[in-house]
Amino acid sequence: MADRECEECPLKELQKIHLFMEKRTLEKLPEEVREPLLEAKRHMRLALWGLIGHVPGEKKAYCEKHPAETRHIKFE
């Protein structure tokens, strides 16, 4: 993945475009649809980080705030 400090990286430009388009699209959605959609996005991001954390052989914390031990995710 590209370094977050790199401003001239094409990936960084694509990320900026993606965030801009996402904001514009969300502005057009009604409020009753927007909130559940953002909540689903947060849950997907957490689930992906959980899957990344379960890579065989790797048990390290990616951040000081988050411990390396795994936790179970409950689905409703």
d(C-alpha 49, C-alpha 51), whole Å: 5
Q: What is the pLDDT of residue 10?
A: 83
Backbone angles phi, psi at 63, to 5 degrees: -155, 155
Reported pTM:
0.51
Distances (CA, A) of 40 to 10, 53, 72: 28, 20, 18
pLDDT in tens, 40-76: 999 999 888 878 776 666 555 556 666 666 667 777 7
- Mean pLDDT for 3-12 is 70
Is the predicted pLDDT of residue 26 greater than 80, yes or no? yes
Per-residue pLDDT tens for 58-67? 555 556 666 6
Tally of residues, the chain: 76
State the greatest distance between any 2 C-alpha atoms of the chain, in Å, as a whole number.
Answer: 44
